[in-house]
Amino acid sequence: MPPLIGVTGYYLDKSETASLGSLGSLGRDLAVMSYDYTRSIERAGGIPVMIPLLDTMDVGSLLDRLDGLLLSGGSDVNPLLYGEQPTTKLGQVVPERDAFELALIRAALERDMPIFAICRGMQILNVALDGTLYQDLETDKGPVHYHAYRQFRKWQPAHPVSVHRDSKLYESVAYEELWVNSYHHQAVKSLGQHLKATAWSKEGVIEAMESTRHGYVAAVQWHPEMMSETDPAEQSLFDHFVSYIKRNQRS
């Protein structure tokens, strides 16, 4: 059986869906997910399953049915969760999503479930392990650290990252330098427990990390799912993740 990969969904409340009334969504909360994630997982041989924001915190029952977890991008992480007051540059936060994903991550880590985290996913994973974030790179570290290159199309590389050879990232791409897209204004400040950095921008921003304690817990700050259709190196991140799951799949 192809492994089932749970993918965290984006949450849109009624105020955000008002403009989508022609799609029958007016006045409704929505759980949504980009096909970029699902197609990348499908190409790697997995079956993607969207995880909506759930009211229940009985996440164990959910994880019992999955073989891996992909933490997707999205809204900013609430800085109160890592002991900081919000600044004026903080973007939208979704407290319900933060709370649900923290519970999901911690339960998955306890089970040593394979996790691949992307952009916001990397940030919430770091916070789940007691790490901290830059609320806004340009404000906190200066204009040279601007990383939200929305001038580019989603599949276009914006800057290079240096890849540590002793890492799951290097095992995936086999490059010491990788060009990536970049749509984030937040980033890891201090690493959480049992995490090590595995890639950096030329300015020193942590662009990837992995757990030193778990079988497969890896994260990247860019969006490989947006590049994977045309860039084999980016697709290899999903291939490596799903291949690991297949080798260690539950009986």
Active site residues: 119, 223, 225
Locus of tokens 């924001």: 53
Sign of the C-alpha dihedral computed for residues 229, 169, 179 and 200 taken in this order: positive
* Spatial CA neighbour of 9 closest among 42, 51, 68, 63: 51
Question: How far apart are the C-alpha atoms of 6 and 242, rounded to whole Å?
Answer: 12
Provide DSSP, 165-200: SSSHHHHHH--SEEEE--B-S-EESS--TTEEEEEE
Question: How far apart are the C-alpha atoms of 156 and 81, rounded to whole Å?
Answer: 33
For residue 89, the 8-state DSSP code is T
For residue 133, the 8-state DSSP code is E
Q: What is the 3-state secondary structure (H, E, C) of 141-165?
A: HCHHHCCECCCCCCCCCCEEEEECC
Question: How far apart are the C-alpha atoms of 26 and 33, rounded to whole Å?
Answer: 18
Q: CA torsion, points 127, 186, 220, 227, in degrees to nearest 10?
A: 150
* Spatial CA neighbour of 70 closest among 120, 26, 28: 120
